[in-house]
Amino acid sequence: MQIIKRSGAESNFDPEKIMAAIRKANNTVPESEQLSEKEIEAIEDKVERNLREMSRAASVEEIQDMVENQLMKYQAYTIARNYITYRYKRAQLRKANSTDKQIMSLLECQNEEVKQENSNKNPTVNSVQRDYMAGEVSKDITKRFLLPEDIVEAHEKGIIHFHDADYFAQHMHNCCLVNLEDMLQNGTVISETMIETPKSFSTACNIATQAIAQIASSQYGGQSISLAHLAPFVDVSRQKARAQVKSELESLNKDFTEEEVNKLAELRVLDEIKRGVQMIQYQVITLMTTNGQAPFVTVFMYIGEAPKGRTRDDLALIIEEMLNQRILGVKNEKGVYITPAFPKLIYVLEEDNIKKDSKYWYLTELAAKCTAKRMVPDYISEKIMKKLKGGDCYTCMGCRSFLTPDRFTAAGVGNIAHALNYVEGQKKYYGRFNQGVVTLNLVDVACTSERDMEKFWEILDERLDLCYRALMARHKRLLGTPSDVAPILWQYGALARLKKGEVIDPLLFNGYSTISLGYAGLCECTKYMTGKSHTDPDATPFALELMHKLNDACAKWKADTNIDFSIYGTPLESTTYKFAKCLQKRFGIIPGVTDKNYITNSYHVHVTEQMSAFEKLKFESQFQELSPGGAISYVEVPNMENNIDAVLSVMQYIYDNIMYAELNTKSDYCQVCGYTGEIQIITDKHGKLVWECPNCGNRDQDKMNVARRTCGYIGTQFWNQGRTQEIKERVLHL
């Protein structure tokens, strides 16, 4: 049986340590008040039985809580008081320097929580360890100096989650939409080097990847770029190729026609598109940013974003190549093609590509094949998005965080970012960003209310006030930030072109940027309060009312501050496990509510609930509308490579019914035996969930390639026990 030590390292359970601690406290009281040795053994036995009933490794803090509870049951009040006092003194000593053991355990790769904190980070790599070391210091400073004590306490108890505390000490924001058009068309500066407007498509792609790396190192969230911003450079290369072909033919004294020149030039252009797209794909995958991982990049593929004619057709050529290369995949260290995690791809479904007789239907068929093979692209419905976003269609920032519709252009705020591609009166999305996220644990609100509906709404108001103050702490941390902290972002076009020394404050108001109130566990919250799933028609009204309350709170905060607060369907990764453990500690095991080692992301249908793909998408669409700051729905499907028509049917359903959705399949490879089927999750002798190749029994996570989508992005096999259980329990929807 395993436990998690305070340092985060995993260790074997030792019952003698419990009895030694009780004996030490026992010896501090008069003999008449002491427990017998038999009673001490009984307490230890009860604690051990409780631990075995848990389907995960307990922390030292949880074990000590169990000991305290047993001492109280034996009415050993003085012993319990001394035990608690000793524990408090030790906690104070640890608090005086709370980072040393954490840092040492991660440096020695013994910290289980850190090893499973991010499925796209390898904690044995020096650059990742360096980032985690800095993160531990930042979290310590944040907890002790930068945040109010009640917000820190709420975060540690799992009442809220203050996201990315490991970056909070610095003046950094969350995610963004890169104004790549401005950077490419008007020049930029990267590492103090002037980069002029590129003279070819391949150069534009190279500049884009260099910018991506710099941007990823200057913020802590995902970034999105649009292929439409690269499309104009295809014709730049075309004209260059035509001139070269003509020159070469003339030098050979060859007679030629314009048609022959165009054909030869087009072959060179297609080859350059192939090389440019390959550059983007391989550079993004192989780049290692300062936080020790590949950039969290989303590539937006929207035919309607380019003007009709040559530029739109060139964009189609780029999209076609992007999809073909992703279908192929990338080679792992064994030379086998596997599914890469990045870049994430988003394909917009629109009138010109959604029907068999539409001009770009061939791209949609290609996208379906890519989804069946590699889990991407994800899909945005132009039709539904325009209904929900004031007539606009635009990409998310990273995996699901959406900007609010542009309201500052109509208000006459003007070009506050000083972008060189700004057009008066034209709505603006590229160059905007998110200030940060705080997530509310809805399950905790419900359990605290003890099913008293009136009390539930009162507690919700109190928790929302807590979230508001936490979000304002994020906002205030960015106030006064000089543009010099990240020149690529604030001075050289990625987000703005401010002067040196100029602060970013104007970009934090008037809806230019957003700040997100996340939420988690709507499913379990509804189950606790109504006794039914939120998919039950009798319980759905409660879930919808709760969502409206969250939106009302954001509307009030926005009116009070002129900051765009927005409801965000949180993509929990490691936090799903943290919240579950905190709920179990505070409220025990409640069937259907706290009996899992995870809680459900945002509004999603529970992963174990049987439902068809179409029913799930239709049901969740109403909650996407109420999550304007970010939402994505998925359907879990088997291998669809031989059933592309079914994939296309789901895509067409997405177009008509929901704004943003994806299909989850499996794409695995065992490096030991070459098995390419689904690598499975099994329970080992310690009760721990581990990945195992069903063909050869390989359990070495470093010798397998597993790809699963867990929070919008594709991740690998390094998930914590809570998320691993959630993946194991998913049912198919098709």
Residues involved in catalysis: 174-175, 397, 399, 401, 434, 568, 573, 712
Peptide bond into 123 cis (omega under 30): no
The closest alpha carbon to 374, from 348, 345, 397, 333, belongs to 345
| CB 553, CB 464: distance < 8 Å | yes
The residue assigned the tokens 């034996």 is 74
The residue assigned the tokens 């001139």 is 243
Length of the chain, in residues: 734
d(CA 409, CA 411): 5
Tokens of 38: 């038999």
What's the angle, vertex CA 483, arms to CA 222 and CA 226, rounded to 5? 35
The residue assigned the tokens 């179409």 is 614
Peptide bond into 343 cis (omega under 30): yes
Tokens of 675: 């098995």
* Chain centroid, CA 385 distance in Å: 21
Biggest alpha carbon–alpha carbon distance for the chain: 114
The closest alpha carbon to 282, from 213, 348, 351, belongs to 213
| Residues 6 or more apart whose Cβ sits within 8 Å of residue 310 | 235
| CB 444, CB 583: distance < 8 Å | yes
Residue 483 DSSP class:
G
Tell me the β-bridge partners of 670.
704
d(CA 280, CA 283): 5
Helix locations, 5-111, DSSP H? 15-26, 37-53, 60-73, 77-96, 100-107
The closest alpha carbon to 526, from 535, 517, 518, 515, belongs to 535
60 φ, ψ (degrees, to nearest 5): -60, -40
